[in-house]
Amino acid sequence: MRLERFLVNAGKTLAVVMILLWSLFPIIFIISSSFKPGREIFAVPPQWLFAPTFDHYVTLWQRWSIFFQGLFNSTIVTIGAASIAVIASTCAGYVYSRTSSRFLNASLVFLIAVRLIPPIVVTLPLFPIVNNLGLADTHFVLSVLYATFFVSLGTVLMRTFIDQIPRELDEAASMDGATMPVILWKVITPLAAPGILAVAVFVVVFAWNEFLFAFIFTSTRAKTAPLVISEMIGSIEGVDWGVLFAASTVQLLPVLLFVMAMNRYLVAGLTSGATKG
Amino acid sequence: MKTSSLWRMMPLLAPTQLLLISVIVIPSIYVVWLSFHASTYGQAATFVGIENYIRVLGDPGFHSALWNTVVLVVVAVHLELLIALGMALLFNSGLWGRRFLLVAVLAPYAVSEVVAVAMWRFLFDQGVGPITVLLNALGLPALEWSYEPSHAMIMIAVLTIWMHLPFTFVILYAARLALPSDLYEAARIDGATRLQSFRRVTMPLLGPAILVALLFRYIFAFRMFSEVWLLTGGGPARTTEVVAVYLYQEAFTYSAFGPASATAWIMVAVSMLLASGYILLLRRQVKNAA
């Protein structure tokens, strides 16, 4: 009996170690390698003790100023996409939570179905349209695209969160003479803050990291950070791994810390978004 | 709800619906039109009927892309599901520092496809990659993914699982947490062994969550683009292309908008087929809960 318990615990510990290695090793490896001097990056087994250097970051700054332009573009696009998605989904989520009709139910199914169309499908017709409208290579186009692919999930999430706010609050405010926009802004929004954060986490992570749309719709002015990194990977004269790791670290760290800080909202969002249509 | 108040609500619905209709619905319908026409840059479109579909469905390149996609979806998604299920049960069995572990498991969710590709390309680099060196030192064969298509497919599968495991895990773990513990109590009192209570209690009750996770992942794995494009570019010699990469090549490399649109519609059809399964499932759950 005692042996069995020992074996079970040993097995669990081993499993936990494997899970941690699998999830964290590649991330820690990239971050720590970005501080390793030249040849130590390639040392096997990897060196965990070394004199950290900022050489790769200096090179990144000197040779890839376009990367920092990319970070700037990513920031603008991410803020834009998150704002559009949060505002649109809060408004729509409120309607779906407070009213119901056959038409609304049908439109909710429409909402969920549309979200499942592969993004690459719409690039095909949008590419010439965006070019003709003179919107190619702008922050605006990326923000709108990113927001659109998250308003469905956002609406469903906001509905679930707003459902938990008692209707009596709306009614009391309405009796005091508040109009609907005022109720939404003064009563609902503060109480639905966790939902808003959950929606924001999804959009921010997606917009900050997205590759396909940025690849197709931007070329110079609005080029985002992931696109610049992809160019580093693909450079013909061989990859400069140190600089690539430095750029990856800079691109990754903010969003990684954000996800870690927001993990509660992410989990709440994932579960209610996928299972409560 | 009265119709009048529904009308008052319309302005609130408008932003969401307008975005979806103008960015996704109308372009998707336009793709249908394109798929029945032959067109390229600077040339008026001419109606060709279903010729584009015939061309795509008869193209060996499409066959191999479709085959690769199906293999990746079947192998990677199911493997991912098994790992996630195992992890969910492990987490539920009482672990020390679960909060921290959960955050650690979620970490890959924050990593972009581009950075993930950079990581795994380096780890498996055929010259200097630590995993390659380690495997060689152990006398094991390393992945020759840059010129051996089947090895490249393994790399893509590993990468996809690494990136999407957090999602599948969270869905299953949340579902497992929601199971009432008195069921297990009852099973124990009835003399059920652990294996029996897993088979008769856990599995049937987790069934819906497993299906939701699976359908979601089928739909998202089916549209996979960036992982493949950044890792192999579809090469060597277009052997590792998936459907989305095939579409991209037809549209943006060969400017063959007709066949590309036909491919796009095949993708939409498959996605919608999977999606209708998902929506049916949700409706049944809603009915059961009511």
The string of pLDDT tens digits covering residues B236-276 is: 888 899 999 999 999 999 988 899 999 999 999 999 898 88
Distance of alpha carbon B102 from alpha carbon B91, whole angstroms:
9
Q: To which H or E segment does residue B37 belong?
A: strand B37-38
Q: In this complex, do B174 and A87 lie within 8 Å of one another by their Cβ atoms?
A: no
Q: In this complex, do B101 and A20 lie within 8 Å of one another by their Cβ atoms?
A: yes
Give me the pLDDT at residue B146, please. 80
Q: Kindly state whether B161 is in contact with chain A, defined as any CB-CB distance less than 8 angstroms.
A: no
Q: In this complex, do B12 and A145 lie within 8 Å of one another by their Cβ atoms?
A: no
Q: Kindly state whether B252 is in contact with chain A, defined as any CB-CB distance less than 8 angstroms.
A: yes
Give me the pLDDT at residue B133, please. 86
Least confident of A82-86, A144-148, A163-167: A163-167
Q: What is the pLDDT of residues B20-38, one digit of tens each?
A: 999 999 999 999 998 998 8
Residues 149-168, chain A: which have Cβ within 8 Å of B? 149, 151-152, 155
Identity of the residue numbered A120: I
Q: Which residues of A touch B1 (CB under 8 A)?
A: 99-101
CB contact set of B171 (below 8 Å; sequence gap of 6+):
A270, A271, A274, A275, B84, B209, B212, B213, B216
Q: What is the CATH number of domain A58-275?
A: 1.10.3720.10
- The DSSP-derived string for B197-248 is HIIIIIHHHHHHHHHHHHHHHHHHHHT--HHHHHHTTT-STTTT--HHHHHH
Give me the pLDDT at residue A268, please. 87
Q: What is the pLDDT of residues A222-266, one digit of tens each?
A: 999 999 999 998 875 677 889 999 999 999 999 999 999 999 999
**Tokens in use for A247?**
């750029």
Identity of the residue numbered A264: R
Least confident of A218-222, B86-90, B106-110, B179-183: B179-183
Q: Kindly state whether A177 is in contact with chain B, defined as any CB-CB distance less than 8 angstroms.
A: no
Q: In this complex, do B19 and A46 lie within 8 Å of one another by their Cβ atoms?
A: no
pLDDT at A111 over 50: yes
Nearest residue, CB atoms, B104 vs list A23, A104, A145: A23
Q: Kindly state whether B100 is in contact with chain A, defined as any CB-CB distance less than 8 angstroms.
A: no
Are A232 and B115 in contact, with CB atoms under 8 Å apart? no
pLDDT at A141 over 60: yes
Q: What is the pLDDT of residues B28-65, one digit of tens each?
A: 999 999 899 887 766 777 888 888 999 999 999 999 99
- The predicted model gives B167-177 an average pLDDT of 91
pLDDT at B162 over 90: yes
Domain B30-289 has CATH 3.40.50.300: no
Distance of alpha carbon B251 from alpha carbon B244, whole angstroms:
11
In chain B, alpha helices (H): 3-19, 26-35, 51-58, 60-72, 78-92, 98-106, 113-123, 130-137, 149-177, 181-189, 194-197, 203-222, 226-231, 243-248, 257-289
Give me the pLDDT at residue A209, please. 97
Between residues B200 and B44, the one the model is more confident about: B200
CB contacts < 8 A (A, B)? 275
Q: Which residues of A touch B87 (CB under 8 A)?
A: 19
Give me the pLDDT at residue B1, please. 45
pLDDT at A124 over 70: yes
Q: In this complex, do A126 and B27 lie within 8 Å of one another by their Cβ atoms?
A: yes
Q: Kindly state whether B118 is in contact with chain A, defined as any CB-CB distance less than 8 angstroms.
A: yes
- The predicted model gives A161-176 an average pLDDT of 90
What pLDDT band is residue B204 in, cutting at 50, 70 and 90?
A: confident
Give me the pLDDT at residue A276, please. 52
Q: In this complex, do B12 and A100 lie within 8 Å of one another by their Cβ atoms?
A: no
Q: Which residues of A touch B247 (CB under 8 A)?
A: 120-121, 124
3-state secondary structure string across A126-172: HHHHHHHCCCCCCHHHHHHHHHHHHHHHHHHHHHHHHHCCCHHHHHH
pTM across the whole model? 0.91
Q: In this complex, do B212 and A275 lie within 8 Å of one another by their Cβ atoms?
A: yes
pLDDT at A277 over 50: no
Residues 220-249, chain B: which have Cβ within 8 Å of A? 222-223, 225-226, 230, 244, 247-248
Q: What is the pLDDT of residues A197-206, one digit of tens each?
A: 999 999 999 9
- The predicted model gives A167-178 an average pLDDT of 89
Q: To which H or E segment does residue B46 belong?
A: strand B46-47
Residues 50-79, chain A: which have Cβ within 8 Å of B? none
Give me the pLDDT at residue B201, please. 84
What pLDDT band is residue B79 in, cutting at 50, 70 and 90?
A: very high
Tell me the nearest-neighbour CA distance from A13 into chain B, angstroms: 9
Tell me the nearest-neighbour CA distance from B182 into chain A, angstroms: 23
Q: In this complex, do B8 and A145 lie within 8 Å of one another by their Cβ atoms?
A: no
- The predicted model gives A106-115 an average pLDDT of 87
Tell me the nearest-neighbour CA distance from B84 into chain A, angstroms: 10
Bridge partners, residue B46, by sequence: B38
Tell me the nearest-neighbour CA distance from B46 into chain A, angstroms: 16
pLDDT at A13 over 50: yes
Domain boundaries, chain B: 30-289
Residues above pLDDT 90, as percent of chain B: 51
Q: Which residues of B touch A144 (CB under 8 A)?
A: 19, 23
pLDDT at B290 over 60: no
Mean pLDDT of chain B: 88
pLDDT at A115 over 90: no
Q: Tell the burial category of B258 from Cβ atoms under 10 Å away from its Cβ (0-12, 13-18, 19+).
A: buried
Q: Kindly state whether B213 is in contact with chain A, defined as any CB-CB distance less than 8 angstroms.
A: yes
Best probe of the B interface among A23, A107, A145, by most B CBs < 10 A, is: A23
In chain A, alpha helices (H): 2-33, 55-63, 65-98, 102-115, 119-132, 139-163, 167-175, 180-182, 189-191, 193-209, 212-217, 225-234, 241-261, 263-275
Q: Which residues of B touch A112 (CB under 8 A)?
A: 275, 278-279, 282
CB burial string B143-181: b at 16+ within 10 A, e below:
bebbeebebbbbbbbbbbbbbbbbbbbbbbbbbbeeeee
Q: In this complex, do B23 and A145 lie within 8 Å of one another by their Cβ atoms?
A: yes
Q: Kindly state whether A208 is in contact with chain B, defined as any CB-CB distance less than 8 angstroms.
A: yes
ipTM of the complex: 0.91
pLDDT at B2 over 70: no
Q: Which residues of A touch B126 (CB under 8 A)?
A: none
Distance of alpha carbon B86 from alpha carbon A244, whole angstroms:
35
Q: To which H or E segment does residue B38 belong?
A: strand B37-38
What pLDDT band is residue B286 in, cutting at 50, 70 and 90?
A: low
Q: Kindly state whether A11 is in contact with chain B, defined as any CB-CB distance less than 8 angstroms.
A: no
Q: In this complex, do A46 and B225 lie within 8 Å of one another by their Cβ atoms?
A: no
Q: What is the pLDDT of residues B206-240, one digit of tens each?
A: 888 898 889 889 999 999 999 999 998 888 888 89
Tell me the nearest-neighbour CA distance from B222 into chain A, angstroms: 9
